[in-house]
Amino acid sequence: MDHKFSAIIEARMLSSRLEGKVLKKIHNKEILRHIIERVKKSQCLDNVVVATTKNRKDDKIISLLKKLKINFFRGSSQNVLDRIIRCADKYKINYIVRITADNPFTDYKLIDYMINHFNKCTDIDFLANNHYGDPKKE
């Protein structure tokens, strides 16, 4: 059974280690833009949405998303899970690929591999990418 999947990218400006890191630039392009472009290469995702906070500092993220014509949701700055759930509710997302906005090396091929694996399994509700083995050997 094939399910419809959407990526929800968690992004915010406030970071205890490097404030504003999602809008820092690598080769004149914001990290968040790199991630969005990579995730959009997925053949298995139906939608890409960015979940950010209602904090005024995140207005800069919203400006970029509007420019890129990317859907977004603004929610709690304290409760990330609540933000993700409300975002999924707003966009009627049933299956979430949760992505953090601080990894410009997000691999769309791994996303597709995991979605295809999830679709083949009938007995799982959750799948994480912390497996260190060779997926070709499975």
Distance of alpha carbon 106 from alpha carbon 109, whole angstroms: 9
**Given pLDDT bands bounded at 50, 70 and 90, which one contains residue 125?**
confident
Q: What is the pLDDT of residues 44-87, one digit of tens each?
A: 999 999 999 999 999 999 999 999 999 999 999 999 999 999 99
| Residue ranges per structural domain of the chain | 5-130
Residue 1's pLDDT is 46
Distance of alpha carbon 94 from alpha carbon 102, whole angstroms: 24
Contact 106, 35 (CB under 8 A): yes
Mean pLDDT value across residues 12-18: 86
DSSP-assigned states of every residue in 54-89: S-GGGHHHHHHHHHHT-EEEEE-SS-HHHHHHHHHH
Q: Which two tokens stand for residue 121?
A: 């399994």
**Given pLDDT bands bounded at 50, 70 and 90, which one contains residue 134?**
low
**Cα dist from 134 to 95, 125, 131, whole Å:** 25, 22, 8
Q: Which residues contact 14 (CB under 8 A, 6 or more apart)?
A: 53, 55, 57, 77
Is pTM, for the whole model, over 0.85?
yes
Domain 5-130 fold is Spore Coat Polysaccharide Biosynthesis Protein SpsA; Chain A (3.90.550)
